[in-house]
Structure 1
Amino acid sequence: MLRRLLPLLILALGVAAFLWLRATGPETASVTPEERRWRVETLSANLRPHAPALPLYGEITAPEMLTVTASLAGRIAERPVREGQRVARGERLVALDEADVRPPLEQAEAEVADREAQAENERVRHESDRETLAREQELVDNALRQLERTRSLVGRKLASQSDLDAARNELARARVTVATRERAITEHPARLRSLQAGLARARAMLAEARRDAERSRVDAPFDGTVTRIQVAPGDQVAAHSELLSFYPEKGLELRARIPHRHQAELINALARGERLQATSDGGARFVLDGLAGEGDPAGTEAIFRLEEGGEGLRPGSLLAVSLARPAVPDSLAVPYSSLYGNDALYLMDDSGRMRRLAVTHHGDVVRADGERWALVTGQSLADGDRVITTHLPNAMRGLRVEVGDDGNDDVSDGVDEARP
């Protein structure tokens, strides 16, 4: 009997122990589900004008580069400069041998002297012809009187017919001489003009020879740098051969291609008289002078004048610059982590929830530390708005967020205010 009741007794003791433990155990606190908050960083909006930066890549050119050529054929007597040397105004660059320069000059001088002598001879001859014509006219008058006397004598049978013919021949010869002299006097102006034209040609050739002689010795017309040397002392060169090139220290330009979508903006800014600057990492500063007269499907070249720095720049060098485009009013610079799809960002409202805002992306701005941020504008964007700068993969309207533990809820954009 006891054996049969023992299992029941054990079961009863177990149930009693369970009930006692349940009654004396701690009560379980009720759990209420709480919405998750995502930690983010924010930027306090401060709308002001910003100049978006346009990165460009261009070539340094020297529009005032001077190419020195040989004025005439000859031998190089001196070339005291070397490639890349900086020279001051008035310093000798290159000179031809004087033995090759003097003969053409002396020949031209001799030709002018000969032409002047011929013209003077023509004037003396003309004066002589005029004086001789008067005497020859007297001979004609004498021959005519002699003919009249001979006719009278022949009529009185005091002279023969041969005497009359001789008188007639003498008169004819005198008249021929007068006609020849008169023709020479008449032709004098034409002969004189021809000689004067020849003299003018000779004087022009002399001026050309003097010009070539002067250009055979080339001095630096300004402070600059020597480049493209193609000759050495002793070389024999032909006329108009290129000898070397020379460009001024000031006046370098940068030519960079501007995309079509930015051309109208830059042209309008120049028309308004705005001063657009481009800077390089090396500290060189350029000012936009204008656009080239021709373009191609890829864009049009912009011409930038070097204004400051650039001591190490050389024509032909490639240089990356950042052009400050016209300022965009009421704009905000934000890190690229703030953008969603390049046309939207999120704000943190007063209840700590995300609010989507459509914006327009105008390009980049460069911070003081060299980092590039996006420049945006939005119709509903206002001063004091808290822009969320942390990029959340699950970002959506109404998502609850909170500022991180560091309390950084006012990140500075680090961009200087653009000058209007």
Structure 2
Amino acid sequence: MGKRLLPLLVVALGIGMFVLLQVTRTPPPAVDVAERAWPVSTVEVSLGTHHSHVSLYGEVVAPGRVTITAPLPGRIAERPVMEGSRVEAGDLLVALDDDDIQPVVVQAEAELARIEAELEAQHVRFASDTEVLTRENELLANARQQVERMRSLVRRNLASRAELDQYENDIARAEVTRLTRQGELNQQPARVAELEAQRAAARAQLNEARRDAERARAHAEFAAIVTELAVAPGDRVREGDALLDIIPLQGMEVRARVSADLEPELLEALAASSALVAHDSQGNRYRLRGMAGVGDPAGTEAIFTSDRPPLWLRPGKLVTLSLERPATEASLAVPHDALYGNDLLYIVEESRLLPLPVTYVGEIPGPDGSPWALVKGSELVDGQRVVTTHLPNAVDGLAVEPVPVDSGARESEDAP
């Protein structure tokens, strides 16, 4: 019996000792967990009026491109220009052989001379027929008097009836001739009008032939660049065949698509005659001339022109432009790292982050020349401290510790 109780007593004794130790042990010291404050750089809010910039990607086009065509069929005699040649106003571009051009002019001149001679002959004929008609009328009057005398002789049996009939037949034939000639004279205005119309048509054909002969030697009408050569000296061409293209130096444009939210701003500036200027990467200046007449849901093309286009500007090239937008009042320039999602800044208030909604306007050169973001917002107030260190875990109420600007190099190492 005692042997059976001994193990139980040992177990009970161990449990008792454990409980005694738990009750009499010294409690561990309390550990205080301090909240970490993240070091951040800040800038003071100072609202002002700024001109932001927006990057646009455009393509060079040449709406003033001219295609030189052959005015007449013939052989190419001269083509002193090459692909890419730069020409000035008055320079010869291409010329057809004179032996193919002059016969056309001579033929048109001969046709005009023939019609003018025929018209002159018609006037002479009219004058002659008028004089003849006058004489015929006089002869007819005399003949009628002779018939009356013959009738008197016939009534007195001094002449035969056959002689009277002969006189009357002569008068009838003379009357027919007079009527025919009078009809010819009556048609004179119509014949003259027809010949004058033919003369006008022949004169127009001559002018066209002379014009084509002049165009057969094509000269540049403005300073331009030669492109799309289609012929060489010795080639034979038909009327209307394309010979070459020229692109005016002053007529090239850069067309860049702008977003739908930026379009109303540019249209308002154009309506107010405000000069909006853009620059390319080399500093060349472009002026906003207008907006394209047709757009789509993605936006509309803005049209830029340059008074002094660079020599490298060619149709089809892609150009990146930095457009200076209209002035934005009550705006703030901050580094891009200060922005969260393009619509949120954090300010420091009582050593904690406070979110501040803003509207992204565009870019503006920062103090070091790098692009900064220009924002505006109804809750921005002068004197606020905006956090410029980008914190991936930034949330409302996060503890932060502003640091001097010269310590900014260590912020990225400490940032979470």
Q: TM-score, normalised by structure 2?
A: 0.85
State whether structure 2 residue 378 is matched by structure 1 residue 395.
Answer: no
Q: Which runs of 5+ in 1 are unaligned?
A: 1-28, 410-420
- Segment of structure 1 superposing worse, 205-214 or 133-142: 133-142
Question: Aligned partners of 1:143, 1:303: CA distance in 2, in Å?
Answer: 91
Identity %: 50
Question: Aligned partners of 1:87, 1:101: CA distance in 2, in Å?
Answer: 25
In the alignment, what sits opposite 1:293?
A: 293
- Matched position secondary structure for 1:325: strand
In the alignment, what sits opposite 2:371?
A: 372
Partner AA of 2:400 in structure 1: V
In the alignment, what sits opposite 1:95?
A: 95
Question: Aligned partners of 2:369, 2:215: CA distance in 1, in Å?
Answer: 52
- Matched position secondary structure for 1:94: strand
- Segment of structure 1 superposing worse, 220-229 or 351-360: 351-360
State whether structure 2 residue 391 is matched by structure 1 residue 385.
Answer: no
Q: For 1:114-136, what per-residue CA distance to the aligned partner results, in whole angstroms no more than 9, with x for missing partners?
A: 11101110111111111111110
Root mean square deviation of aligned Cα: 2.2
* 1:18-417 correspondence runs (5 A): 35-349=35-349, 351-367=350-366, 371-404=370-403, 407=406
Residues 44, 405 of structure 1: CA spacing in aligned structure 2 closer, same or farther, 3 A cutoff? Answer: closer
Residues 115, 198 of structure 1: 8 Å contact kept:
yes
Kindly tell me the number of residue pairs found equivalent between the two proteins: 380
Q: For 1:347-379, what per-residue CA distance to the aligned partner results, in whole angstroms no more than 9, with x for missing partners?
A: 224x44333322222233354766433221122
Question: Aligned partners of 2:308, 2:45: CA distance in 1, in Å?
Answer: 34
Residues 111, 308 of structure 1: CA spacing in aligned structure 2 closer, same or farther, 3 A cutoff? Answer: closer
The structural deviation recorded for 1:142 is: 1.8
The structural deviation recorded for 1:97 is: 0.3
Q: For 1:169-197, what per-residue CA distance to the aligned partner results, in whole angstroms no more than 9, with x for missing partners?
A: 11111111211121111111111111111
Question: Aligned partners of 1:236, 1:84: CA distance in 2, in Å?
Answer: 23
Question: Aligned partners of 1:368, 1:283: CA distance in 2, in Å?
Answer: 19
Question: Aligned partners of 2:78, 2:57: CA distance in 1, in Å?
Answer: 40
Partner AA of 1:170 in structure 2: D
Partner AA of 2:334 in structure 1: V
Question: Aligned partners of 1:257, 1:198: CA distance in 2, in Å?
Answer: 56
- Matched position secondary structure for 1:126: helix
Partner AA of 2:344 in structure 1: A
- Matched position secondary structure for 1:260: coil
Question: Aligned partners of 2:182, 2:208: CA distance in 1, in Å?
Answer: 40
The structural deviation recorded for 1:405 is: 5.5
Residues 353, 401 of structure 1: 8 Å contact kept:
yes
The structural deviation recorded for 1:32 is: 7.3
The structural deviation recorded for 1:223 is: 1.7
Q: For 1:84-129, what per-residue CA distance to the aligned partner results, in whole angstroms no more than 9, with x for missing partners?
A: 0111221111110000110010000001111110111011111111
Residues 36, 400 of structure 1: 8 Å contact kept:
yes
Residues 192, 369 of structure 1: CA spacing in aligned structure 2 closer, same or farther, 3 A cutoff? Answer: farther
Residues 276, 324 of structure 2: 8 Å contact kept:
yes
Partner AA of 1:220 in structure 2: A
- Segment of structure 1 superposing worse, 357-366 or 142-151: 357-366
Q: For 1:127-183, what per-residue CA distance to the aligned partner results, in whole angstroms no more than 9, with x for missing partners?
A: 111111111011111211121122112111122221111011111111112111211
- Matched position secondary structure for 1:52: strand
Q: TM-score, normalised by structure 1?
A: 0.85
Q: For 1:226-273, what per-residue CA distance to the aligned partner results, in whole angstroms no more than 9, with x for missing partners?
A: 111111001101111111111222232111222222221211111112
Residues 308, 202 of structure 1: CA spacing in aligned structure 2 closer, same or farther, 3 A cutoff? Answer: closer
Residues 41, 405 of structure 2: 8 Å contact kept:
no
- Matched position secondary structure for 1:310: coil
Residues 69, 244 of structure 2: 8 Å contact kept:
yes
Residues 120, 231 of structure 1: CA spacing in aligned structure 2 closer, same or farther, 3 A cutoff? Answer: same
The structural deviation recorded for 1:403 is: 3.2
